[in-house]
Amino acid sequence: MIVGACKFTLELSAVFNLKEKRSVVSSIKQKIMNTFKVFVSEVEALEDLNTAVLGFALAGNDANFIRDLIDKITNYIEEHEGIKITYDKVEVLQF
């Protein structure tokens, strides 16, 4: 079994209060889940207005497939206006 674990730190440029942040983060999480069929969770910086940290994990039997899907999710996030990935940590492990 191959496991891919990812953690993305996002800079949110057009957010002025926690309600807006939650709306933006909820929207991007839902779009990722709908498009790629993976569960995404906000894992850190819950009260920081301009930062969101998202995490998700994938399991499969092909490391290249896992890496490709992670790359697609990364590109998908980067395409959204007002959201910039400032840090990412990706690990693909054989379990």
Q: How far apart, in whole angstroms, are the C-alpha atoms of residue 46 and residue 77?
A: 18
**What's this model's pTM, rounded to 2 decimal places?**
0.86
Q: Which candidate, 46, 40, 47, 54, places its Cα nearest to that of 86?
A: 54
* Mean pLDDT, rounded, for 9-18: 88
**Cα(93)–Cα(95) distance, integer angstroms:** 6
Residue with tokens 């896992």: 66
Placement of tokens 């693909």 in the chain: 92
CB 66 within 8 A of CB 95: no
Could you read off the pLDDT of 23-32 as tens digits, one per residue?
A: 889 999 999 9
Count of Cβ atoms closer than 10 Å to residue 67 Cβ? 15
Tens digit of each residue's pLDDT (9 = 90 or more) over 15-25: 888 898 998 89
